[in-house]
Amino acid sequence: MASANPVIKVVAISGSLRKASFNSGLIRSAIELSKESVNGMQIEQIDISQLPLLSTDLIVNGTYPPVVEAFRQKLLKADSFLFASPEFNYSLTAPLKNAIDWASLAPNCWGDKAAAVVSAAGSFGGGRSHYHLRQIGVYLDLHFINKPEFFLNAFQPPAKFDDDGNLVDAEAKQRLKEILVALRDFTLRLQK
């Protein structure tokens, strides 16, 4: 008898440190959706705001600072990753790049795992940050789902988020759910 698919563990990272961040709101919505209507996945958001700016001088006798080590351990235990990546000056944000770089050091915490990227930003909805992130993923050996894509123009009426950065747009929630399903299915395919 075929065994049921296991529950995959997804680590979610927002590239914004802002309290009412739209991108963190996308992750909160993804967590809700995963509990309500996407079987077989568990999403945990990881805070990257306490990671120091990377300097290899902070690695002492091969040991990472405790906050970095704790972050890396969570990634190593994850089956896949969900990035919510705001666009800053046509690219991903500095905090997100810093977190990615810390976890890229040996042993690479990203290698051979599935990932998806979503974003809320200005006119193109953050799309340009996706392409830089995907390029970084080539070297890290991350496997991004190609489709569907999720870009959300956060500033075009009607409002997509409330004042606390919670996603309130039903169509966007549906598209976000499709990302989660695609990420879950691709994660399971990679693990076969």
Ligand X SMILES: Cc1cc2nc3c(=O)[nH]c(=O)nc-3n(C[C@H](O)[C@H](O)[C@H](O)COP(=O)(O)O)c2cc1C
Positions in the binding site for ligand X (CB under 6 A): 16, 18, 21-23, 86-90, 121-124, 126, 154
Cβ 143 to ligand X shortest distance, Å: 25
Q: Which is nearer to ligand X, 9 or 173 (CB)?
A: 173
State the minimum distance, in angstroms, from the CB of residue 157 to ligand X.
15
CB of 62 to ligand X, least distance (A): 35
Torsion of CA 96, 189, 138, 55, to 10 degrees: 40
In angstroms, what is the minimal distance from the CB of 131 to ligand X? 12
In the bound state with ligand X, the residue whose beta carbon lies nearer, of 90 and 139, is 90
Distance CA 138, CA 128 (A): 16
CA distance 115 to 29: 17
Cβ nearer to ligand X, comparing 62 with 158: 158
Beta strands in 35-124 (DSSP E): 41-46, 80-84, 113-121
Asked whether the beta carbons of 70 and 46 are under 8 A apart, the reply is no
Residue with smaller CB distance to ligand X, 21 or 29: 21
**161 Cα distance to chain centroid:** 19
Q: How far is the CB of 167 from ligand X (least distance, A)?
A: 11
> Quick one: 61 or 89, whose CB is closer to ligand X?
89
Gap between the Cα atoms of 118 and 126, Å rounded: 8
Q: How far is CA 39 from CA 8, 73, 88, 170, 184, in A?
A: 10, 25, 33, 20, 9
Residue closest to ligand X when measured from CB atoms:
122
